[in-house]
Structure formats: structure tokens, C-alpha cells
Chain A
Amino acid sequence: MKVVMIFDQTQAGLGGKENPMLPLGGKNMVIGSANMLDPYLKKNDMQIAACLYCGDGFFEANKEEVTKKMAAMCKKIGADAVLCGPAFNYEGYGEMCAHVGEFIEQHVGIPTVAAMSKECASTIEAFKDKVNIIDMPKKGGIGLTESLSAMCELAKMKVDGVDTTAFVEAHCY
């Protein structure tokens, strides 16, 4: 099963807060924090086909264009599922995850799962009914592995067309 990851500059391993204008880009291999997901991807028979990234400031300035390009790229790659996150408590990244995730699911039809912590409150409020957002800890908080596992598991369930109601209730906002 082919998975595409959506990252901001920090999770892509391309800088921190000082590098928000990192332009949209991508690599067809595992980069940055995708390594954290390794055991959970394997468990669910998933493989990372590509990691797409964009600085949170660049996304803010070019929201529509970046969203469409990411969606079109996921389609071109032929992804079975898209994982947007883990966004922790990075608000700009959280918004990108929800926004891009919703668009991909609605317009390209690829199952999508986002993940962010409750600190991204306004994004969660606006998007929780439009895309599945896994409840995860903030940066340095407790319960990271559980939420990473849930991201992969839910994506797999959605691809397999299994009923996700109970799982979503337990793990999503």
C-alpha cells in the first residue's frame, strides 16, 4: 500500500521556525520524521512512496496553489492513502494538514488522515467534521507512539473500506 506524507519544514528535516518560507517540494523516499512511523507503517503493510513538504509560511501565503499541487501530486503518484502530520502543536502546520487533507479526500478521493494536538484548536474546530484528525500530544507530550500507530491504522481501515466509526470516536476529535 503506497502512502504519501505531508510535512512542514521541521518534520521534513529542512529547518525550524526560522525557515517558514521553504517552497513546496517533495522527495520520493523516506525523509525527516517519517522514520518515526516506520514500525507502524510496516505493521499495516504500508510503504512511503513520497514525502511532500512545504514551509508553513509559504503555505499560508500560497494556500490554494499549494493545496491543489499537493493533491494533484498525490494522484499522479497513485497514493493509496495520505498522512498529513504529525503536526504536534505547530499551528501553521496543523492548518496545512487539515486543509490539504480535506481537499485531497474530497476532490481526489484518496483516504486521508491528519494528526495534531488540541493546541491547534481553531483548525480542529473548523475541520474535524470534514477530515479525520487524530488526537495527538503536543511537542514533548505523552502518547506519541499511540497516536502515530492510530494514524497508520485508521488510514489502513479507510483504504480497506472497513467501518471506522468506533475507531474514529476513540482516536479522533
Chain B
Amino acid sequence: MFDKLEKVLMPMADKLGKNKVLLAIRDGFLITTPLIIVASLFLLFANFPITGWSEFWAGMFGEGWESWFTNVSRPVFEMVGFLSCFGTAYAYGRQLEGDAIQSAGIGMIAFLILTPTRIFFDGVPAVEGGDVAGGLSFLYLGSQGIFLGLFVSIIAVWLFNWVYRRGWTIKMPDGVPPAVSQSFEALIPSAVVMLLFFFIRIGFEFTPYETVHNFIYSVLQTPLKGAGNTLTAQLIYGVATTVFWFFGINGPAVANSVFGPITKVLTMENLEAFQNGTDLPNIFTDPFSNFFTNWGGGGSTLSLVIVMILFCNSKRIKQLGKLALVPGIFGINEPIIFGLPIVLNPIIIIPFILVPQVNLILSTIATNLGWIPYTTGVALPWTTPIGFSGYLSTGSLFAAVWQIGLLILGCAMYYPFIKILDKKYLEEEASAVAVEEEEISFDDISFDDL
């Protein structure tokens, strides 16, 4: 059965894993990740979920101290679409083995060509002087602009590099400094890209959408986002990531190339609402996935580690459990994945797939019932330990307790399966001892024959 499954999955993972566009989108988001995490910490400090927190600091620094912090978080969050455009353009340029920074530049400019750069003020007639400001509205640069940013960067960078490779460039004579000749070489490719987006912008002005932003947002982003914001989509994502791991393939890396852009939008929308103090719109954000379904590394293996320590008798399993506990608390489960192993292990793969699914279903129900609040979208490092992560991502103490409850449930689910393995290992250990010593001693080893 596994062979058949592998025959289906392998080519799929291979295709997704080698697709330069998807790799660029994934790596492009990674460029923005550190910025989002740091900005989240600023935002979290300004809105720490403890009663009296705000008043306490206001007593020291005066009213409005929060704005010091939100002045750092706001530019990051409200520019996230633009940042994704930059990151993806850079990463795609690198994928195509072209000039990455020039690619990033052309991607950003193509995006801005399509973006309104005049801001009209409500109720003031648009006549010369005073009522129209030159500027970029965050409306277009934030989460609403993520999808367009991705599209534009891919198209612009592909075209730029295509023209470049055809050799349609201005060649400078030898002796001209490389920086100068490179900028001239980029001139015609840049012109082609900018012309294309010039025409696209004009074209859309004649449609009811008026801007490409409006078009992408309503035709693509909203429906895709809706599809991603369902339990079914999340279940598929969960199965995909864990089944891939069975074959040794990094499941999240493959699945995120498809799901990543969608959950990114969902997360950012919650964050914006949180900043603005309005109702949080989405359940299935990145923090929800990281901290309520699949914490402790893929397969929520922290539960497994606890069972290994508390209830297993084979020396190997107990020792590995002890060694894997501390990394496991911080979400690192590499020793378990390869050391137990989970990869290509048909017994442990069953709870490895099931536990995150049960976490997902129960946490979705709990969120819908209002037991745990929607996640704020504040990005915590995925290594944040369970308990803390639940509290900080929702502001609810019950959410932290909920995580511990899921951890215990996970232990119960892993128990029967690891016990099967434990029994097998115990038998092996016993037979190894029966033959001779289980441990191999290097003490009396001789080098005479070497």
C-alpha cells in the first residue's frame, strides 16, 4: 500500500518541490518572517493580555504610550503585501539565477505602477492645490495586496530575466566599471517590464474594476481565501503534511507552497482587525495552525515524547525520550523523526497523522463555541512552548489550559502505538542480551590487523 501511495505522492512532491515559482513565493515569505515576528512582539507589548497592563505603563509614561510600539508594528503589517512582492521578486530572481536585487527592484516598481499614487480626500473636490495628496494608501500595500504582490513580482521578474537572457541589452565597452555596465544592461529589460505594466494599468482603468488591485482582490483573493478558511481545507493540509513526512519529505515545505499565501492573508487580516480593535474575522490563521493543531513539531510529537518517558520500558525508547524532551518543548522533533524513527515507520505514522487532525477538529469546535478566542494573528516564533503560545496568541488563559488538555489527549492517542513498538524493541533488546552483551565495547579492540 505504501509503495502505491509513494508512487502517487512522490511525483507530486517532486513537481511542487522543484517549481521555481512556488519556491520563490515560499522563500519570499521567509524574507518577511523575521520582520513580522519582531513587529508582533512590539504589538504584543502594546496590547499585552493582562488587565491593568495599559494603565500601569500609562501611569509611568502617560497616555498614548502604546503608539511608540505600534509605530514599529504598523509599517510592517500595513506593508506586508508590498514586502511579499519585494521578497518574492528577490527570491525568484535568485531562482532564475539572474540579478536578484535588480529583480527585486523591478518587481516593486511594477507593483507600484499598478497602485494608485494619489490620495483623494472625502468631501473635498479634486481641484488643483490641497485636496489631492501624492502618497500610497496602506489599503493597497497590506494584506489586500499580498496576492497581487505575488503575481506582479513573478510576471515582472520572469519577463525581466527573459529579455535579459535573449541578450536584448546595451553592452558597454571593456573598461567600464562593472556596476555601470550592469545598470546599462538592465535598462532595456527594465523598460520592457515597465511598458507592460504601463499598458496593464491603462487597460484596467477602462474596466469596472478601475485598478488591478480591485480586480485581483475580488476575483481571486477573496474566493481563494474563503476556500482556505474552511475546516476541510485545513484537514487536507494536515493530512498532506504528515503523510509526506512518512516518506521523509518535509511536508509543510511542500504543502505551504500551495497553502502559505492563503493562510498568510487570513493571518494578516486578523492582525489588522486586532490592531484596529475590531472583531477578528478568521479562525484558520498561522498561529492557530502552529499552536492549536500541530505544536511540538510535525505530528504534535511532544505527546509522544512524554509517553516514551513515562510509560515505555525499552531502554532505547526511554533514552531517546529523555533526550528529545527539551528540544520537543521548543517544537524541535528531529531526533524523533529520524531516531525513533517516524520516517518509513508504518506503526507510528498512524497517530502521527491522527493526533494533529483531532487537535484541529477539537480546537475548531472550541473556537466556534467561544471557549477559546480567535487568534490575534500576532506572529510568535513557532518554537514558543505550549501553554505560553496558547496564551500569547489569543490572550486567553483558558487557551493555554486547552493546549495542555490536547497534549494529554495526544499522549492517550500515541500510547497504544508506541507500546507496540516498545514491545518489539524490548524483545530485540532481550534477544541481543541473550546472544551476548547488547552494548558493544571498544575497550579491548586491537589495531593489529589494520
Contact = CB atoms under 8 A, between A and B. Distances in A.
Contact of B248 (A25, A107, A145): A145
A13 interface: yes
A120 interface: no
A75 B449 contact: yes
Interface stretch (B105-113, B225-233, B440-448): B440-448
A139 B250 contact: yes
A11 B440 contact: no
B450 A142 contact: no
Interface in A31-61: 31-33, 35-36, 38, 50, 52
Contacts of B387: none
B440 A73 contact: yes
Given A35-B345, A73-B445, A144-B343, A29 B429 contact: yes
Given A25-B440, A27-B432, A19 B345 contact: no
A54 to B, nearest CB: 10
A11 B338 contact: yes
A27 to B, nearest CB: 6
Given A11-B338, A14-B320, A68-B447, A141 B442 contact: no
A33 B253 contact: no
A104 B440 CA distance: 18
A36 B343 contact: yes
Given A16-B323, A29-B429, A140-B250, A68 B450 contact: yes
B428 interface: yes
A10 interface: yes
A17 B334 CA distance: 9
B335 A72 contact: no
A16 B332 contact: yes
Interface string B83-99: 00000000000000000
User: Among the interface residues B6, B319, B341, which one has the most CB atoms of the partner chain A within 10 A?
Assistant: B341
Contacts of A148: 344
Nearest to B340: A13
Given A10-B339, A14-B319, A16-B327, A69 B442 contact: yes
A68 B447 CA distance: 7
A154 interface: no
A81 interface: no
Interface string B332-356: 1011001111011100000000000
A28 B435 contact: yes
A68 B450 CA distance: 8
A70 to B, nearest CB: 9
A142 B249 contact: yes
Contact of A28 (B17, B326, B440, B447): B440
B343 A13 contact: no
Contacts of A76: 445
A15 interface: yes
B279 interface: no
A26 B14 CA distance: 36
A1 B294 CA distance: 42
B249 A140 contact: yes
A169 interface: no
A72 B445 contact: yes
A114 interface: no
B449 A13 contact: no
B20 interface: no
A16 B334 contact: yes
Given A32-B340, A69-B442, 18 more contacts: A11-B339, A13-B341, A14-B319, A16-B324, A16-B327, A16-B335, A25-B439, A28-B437, A31-B316, A35-B345, A36-B341, A36-B344, A75-B450, A139-B250, A140-B250, A141-B249, A143-B14, A145-B248
20 contacts: A13-B339, A13-B340, A15-B324, A16-B327, A27-B439, A27-B440, A28-B435, A28-B436, A28-B438, A29-B432, A33-B338, A36-B341, A69-B445, A76-B445, A88-B338, A140-B249, A141-B248, A142-B17, A142-B249, A143-B10
Interface of A: 10-19, 24-33, 35-36, 38, 50, 52, 68-69, 71-73, 75-76, 88, 107-108, 137, 139-145, 148
Interface of B: 6, 10, 13-14, 17, 245, 247-250, 253, 316, 319-320, 323-324, 326-327, 332, 334-335, 338-341, 343-345, 428-429, 431-432, 435-440, 442, 445-447, 449-450
